[in-house]
Amino acid sequence: MVISERKPMEEILGFLKGCEKIVLVGCGQCASACKVGGAPEIEEMTALLEAEGKKVLGHVMPDSTCNLLLNKKELKSVKEELKEADAVLSLACGDGTQTIMKNTKKQNIPVYPANNTMFIGEVERVGKFEEACKACGECELGWTGGICPVTMCAKGLVNGACGGAKNGKCEVSPDNDCAWVLIYERLKELGQLDNLKEVRPPKDYSKQLNPRRLDANKKASAEA
């Protein structure tokens, strides 16, 4: 899940300076679960903007705002409002915000983010999230017992540990458990401690060159 949190209202209003008529776009998936882009948040943002003298012409909440075609289809419901709007305010993640921009380029209106995109994470419980993956393009979970050293280790070490851990806690961030202590304990439980004897090659950061693309259909055809 993509985890987002709302920007300070002062920053949002800074984006909207000089804009009077606004269209809001939320997201029924990740942003909604993070309580920054669902129906209650759209209602709250509407009230906040109108208190500042703005006029919210309409809103839409695609089920998945980052889906280009679905986004395009859902935006048709506010087609007339977009013609009149001075700006679109996205209550989705950064990906969703860029998708809205691509689908509103013909209207030539700016799309502004209401949220900061924080990380890819897991839902620990309702409203509580933990970072789980950096999408590094070269997954290490197969030999680390399912614990990601790139994400969980503050230094991103793949040949840990660094030696700075104290009482099982990270020396960089003492509130966090040392990833390599966790990895060691998990591999011990699995009877796979020999995994730690192999010196791993440095991360291939070429696999993180931005922007990345993946054509799953083309790949599946090539492998068939």
* Domains with residue ranges and CATH for the chain: 2-119 (3.40.50.1860), 138-217 (no CATH)
Residues 133-143 as b/e (b if ≥16 CB within 10 A, e otherwise) read eeebeeebeeb
Q: What is the rounded average pLDDT for all residues in the chain?
A: 94
Q: Is the pLDDT of residue 121 over 90?
A: yes
Task: Map tokens 């709007």 to a residue.
Answer: 85
Q: Which of 110, 49, 56 is nearest to 78 (CA)?
A: 56
Secondary structure element (H or E) that encloses residue 183, with its range: helix 179-190
pLDDT in tens, 56-106: 999 999 999 999 999 999 999 999 999 999 999 999 999 999 999 999 998
User: 68 — phi, psi (to 5°)?
Assistant: -55, -50
Cβ atoms of 185 and 193 closer than 8 Å: no
Q: Model's pTM, two decimal places?
A: 0.87
Nearest-angstrom CA–CA distance, 123 and 130:
7
Q: Is the pLDDT of residue 141 over 90?
A: yes
